[in-house]
Structure 1
Amino acid sequence: MHAARSPGAPIGVYDSGVGGLSVLRHIRARLPAEDLIYFADSGHAPYGEKTEQYVVDRALLVAAFLLERGIKALVVACNTATVAAIKAVRARYPDLPVVGVEPGLKPAAATTRNGKIGVLATARTLKGEKFLLLREQIGAATQAQFLLQPCVGLVDQIELGDLETPAIAALLEQYVAPLLDQGADTLVLGCTHYPFVQAGIERVLRAHGHADVTLIDTGDAVARQLVRLLDAAGLLRPARTAAEAPAALRGYTTASVSALAPAFANLLGLYPPVEKIDV
């Protein structure tokens, strides 16, 4: 498996749904020459309400599927799957470069002015051992106070594809306002779905007179880490010449093509081939 890996091989990007497209956007910007495969496990989402073992099993199945398609690296572009399963994926495939996402507690602690940081994430992420350890370490090192806000139902609404619904606006008000009331001056978008409703979050901030609150999105940090790992392994694809075909992108989903294809179009303005598969 390892011997066949080459700089020309694609990179796999995996999420429980369409949220990882926010990370894919940063990867495409930093690595425009790379072929990418995006896997949305929407048929088994949302992960935030599943058991840890369920998420581990799904992550291992998806990783195996993507390796069959020849990937040279895997980005687990899902906070919940990173917290629950990245250790298991790395243990199963020790020679595969694997990048996860974690809520941006460290950049938030460096950014905050008053030491109060709101963390918007799924309930599963906020209960995960990996997250709680990270919070403890950064809290001890910086004295920052992390105010945790599980955002039940928000991923489901974003998955529907219309980001301007009254339902999303009501959830954002419900989850963001209490953090502002507690004095948070920095908000961590602790789920890869949430950057897609950043405009809605900013409306809540303005409505409450807190337009100066800083939002932290970790997608670019993930892309930078991917570049470092590929470079260290000698797997970066050289820039494409004019004679070469442009970088390819394709999508797989365990739910309906009619959900993922519009998400590519509406969220990123892209129209790659999308295929429904059973994994």
Structure 2
Amino acid sequence: MSERPTSSDSVEPCIGMLDSGVGGLSVLLEVQKLLPEHSIRYIGDSAWCPYGSKPAGLIQQRVFQLTDELIAKGANIIVVACNSATINAVEALRARYPIPFVGMEPAVKPAALLTKTGTIGILATEASIAGEKFHHLLETHAAPLKVKVITQPCPDFVTLVENGTLEGPEAEEAVRQYAMPMVEAGADTLVLGCTHYPFLRETIQKIVGNHLNIIDTGQAVAKRTQSLVPSAETEAAPSLHIQTTGPLETLEALFPKLCPGTVATLSKLEL
């Protein structure tokens, strides 16, 4: 359920969240479960989506702009609910701003511990796979256990979610293209390395089979946010503001599908 903005310019202490589009809403749902008493302000940068194919410097510059906007609206902690933005900007954000930042990283460690075949598949964006942070994860968690890691960029997954195509022939064909070669190579555990991908989880499970493990990091990020967030000091009812840099009508059509039953104020951000 969505509402048109009435006072979207108001400032209140809140959890800030940002993503290249609507994918980070998968993390927002997990944060809301653990922190229902906190207001949340989310920016989906759909006008610039996807981040995964863009240069690191441009991603970082754009994330700084979104962060400035969130802090101006009262954010006292920010969840970078985007793997590509985390890879390219989270350390710079921590150095530049005096508030906590929670980033995303592919769940290499739990996948390496869970696999029985010794092979895991990482479905991610080009930016995430190319980043030094990702390679450090592999060296730290997969290499010592001699786990084989297969990586696969999935640009069509982001497009599907941004278009609201979460099931059906088009989504199933994309899953076959990206995931089935990993399964055929022996992977028994797949990591969803982009916050858009959990919205395709049911379709992915349908195609690869229920015997495969599928892992994402939304719950872990929510728990980390819970450990860092300042206490909610206001007595006002918590609010949820969702902004998009893309067309507002697209967000209004997508939001009920991605977050059914969730009440939020939706608005357009010119940036």
Report if TM-score (shorter chain) is over 0.5: yes
Secondary structure, counterpart of 1:50 in structure 2: coil
2:216 is aligned with 1:224 = no
Secondary structure, counterpart of 1:251 in structure 2: strand
Unaligned runs of 5+ in 2: 1-11
Conserved? CA contact 2:15–2:39, under 8 Å: yes
| Aligned counterpart in structure 2 of residue 114 of structure 1, from 105, 113, 117 | 117
Secondary structure, counterpart of 1:119 in structure 2: strand
Q: Deviations over 1:246-268 (max 9, x none)?
A: 32001111111112223221111
Give the whole-Å Cα distance in 2 for the aligned partners of 1:265 and 1:144.
Answer: 39
Give the whole-Å Cα distance in 2 for the aligned partners of 1:190 and 1:166.
Answer: 23
TM-score, with structure 1 as normaliser:
0.89
| Aligned counterpart in structure 2 of residue 15 of structure 1, from 16, 19, 34 | 19
Deviation at 1:245, TM superposition (A): 4.6
Give the whole-Å Cα distance in 1 for the aligned partners of 2:139 and 2:238.
Answer: 41
Deviation at 1:140, TM superposition (A): 2.6
Conserved? CA contact 2:124–2:152, under 8 Å: yes
Change (3 A) 1:262 1:246: farther
- Identical-pair percentage: 40
Give the aligned residue type for 2:211: D
| Aligned counterpart in structure 2 of residue 42 of structure 1, from 32, 46, 70 | 46
Give the aligned residue type for 1:126: I
| Aligned counterpart in structure 1 of residue 105 of structure 2, from 102, 105, 111 | 102
| Aligned counterpart in structure 1 of residue 257 of structure 2, from 259, 266, 270 | 266
TM-score, with structure 2 as normaliser:
0.92
| Mapping for residues 1-279 of structure 1, pairs under 5 Å | 9-93=13-97, 95-206=98-209, 211-230=210-229, 235-237=230-232, 245-269=236-260, 270-279=262-271
Secondary structure, counterpart of 1:47 in structure 2: coil
Deviation at 1:142, TM superposition (A): 2.0
Give the whole-Å Cα distance in 2 for the aligned partners of 1:193 and 1:139.
Answer: 24
Greater alpha carbon shift after TM alignment, 260-269 vs 66-75: 260-269
Match for residue 3 of structure 1?
A: none
Q: Deviations over 1:150-188 (max 9, x none)?
A: 112220111001312422211111011100010001000
Deviation at 1:134, TM superposition (A): 1.0
Give the whole-Å Cα distance in 2 for the aligned partners of 1:83 and 1:263.
Answer: 27
Give the whole-Å Cα distance in 1 for the aligned partners of 2:253 and 2:114.
Answer: 35
Q: Deviations over 1:51-102 (max 9, x none)?
A: 1111000100000011100111000000010011111111110x21100010
Give the whole-Å Cα distance in 2 for the aligned partners of 1:192 and 1:226.
Answer: 16
Conserved? CA contact 1:12–1:73, under 8 Å: yes
Conserved? CA contact 2:80–2:102, under 8 Å: yes
Greater alpha carbon shift after TM alignment, 151-160 vs 255-264: 255-264
Unaligned runs of 5+ in 1: 1-7
Change (3 A) 1:271 1:162: farther
Give the aligned residue type for 1:249: L
Detail structure 1 runs of 4+ shifted over 3 Å in the superposition.
Answer: none
